[in-house]
Amino acid sequence: ADPFAPKVIAVPSKGVERWLMQQLSLRLGTECGWDGVAANVLFPSPSQLVGDVMSSLAGWAPNTDPWTASRLVWAVLAVMDENVPEAWAAMLSHHLGRDDPDAAHRHGRRFSTASKLAQLFTSYGDARPSMLLSWVDSVDTDGFGVGLRDDMLWQAAFWRRLRERIGVPSPAERLTEVCEKLRDQPDLVDLPARLSVFGPTRLSRSQLAVFDALAAGRELHLWLTHPSPTMWQALQGLQPAIRRAEDRTALQVNNPLLTNLSRDVRELQQLLSADAANLHHPPESLCDNVLRRMQDDIRLDRDPAKSAARLPLDGSISIHACHGHVRQVEVLREALLHLFNEDPTLQARDVIVLCPDVDAFAPLIAAAFGHTNAPHPGHRLRVRLADRGPARTNPLLQILQTLLALADGRVT
pLDDT of residue 33: 58
Residue 41, SS3?
strand
At 76 the pLDDT is 94
Tell me: the pLDDT tens digits for 374-388?
A: 778 888 888 888 777
Name the 3-class secondary structure at 300. Answer: coil
Strands (E), 154-275: 194-198, 219-223
75-124 pLDDT, tens digit each: 999 999 898 888 898 888 888 877 776 766 677 788 889 999 999 999 99
Q: What is the mean pLDDT of residues 13-26?
A: 87
Q: What's the distance, Cα to Cα, between the start and end of the chain in Å?
A: 64
Cα 5–8–14 angle (5° rounding)?
A: 130
Whole-angstrom Cα distance, residue 72 to residue 81? Answer: 14
Residue 275 has pLDDT above 60, yes or no: no
Report the pLDDT value the prediction gives residue 320, as an integer from 0 to 100: 92
Looking at the DSSP assignment, which residues form a beta bridge with residue 8?
Answer: 42, 195
pLDDT given for residue 336 in this prediction: 93
Among 34-38, 314-318, 362-366, the range scoring the smallest mean pLDDT is: 34-38
Q: Output the average pLDDT for the chain.
A: 86
Pair 290, 317: CB distance under 8 Å: yes
> What is d(CA 218, CA 53) in angstroms, rounded to the nearest whole number?
14
Give start and end residues of each alpha helix (H) in 272-394: 290-299, 325-342, 358-369, 390-393
Q: What is the pTM of this model?
A: 0.79
The per-residue pLDDT for 366 is: 85
Most confident region among 59-68, 288-297, 330-339 by mean pLDDT? 330-339
Distance CA 293, CA 215 (A): 39
What confidence tens digit (pLDDT) does each residue in 30-65 have?
A: 666 566 788 899 999 999 999 999 988 888 887 788
Contact (Cβ atoms closer than 8 angstroms) between residue 32 and residue 24 = no
pLDDT of residue 412: 72
Ranges of H-type helices in 63-170: 69-83, 90-95, 110-127, 129-136, 153-166
Is the distance from CB of 387 to CB of 358 less than 8 angstroms?
Answer: yes
Task: Check: CB of residue 50 under 8 Å from CB of residue 213.
Answer: no
Cβ pair 313, 345 in contact under 8 A? no
pLDDT confidence band for 249 (50 / 70 / 90): confident
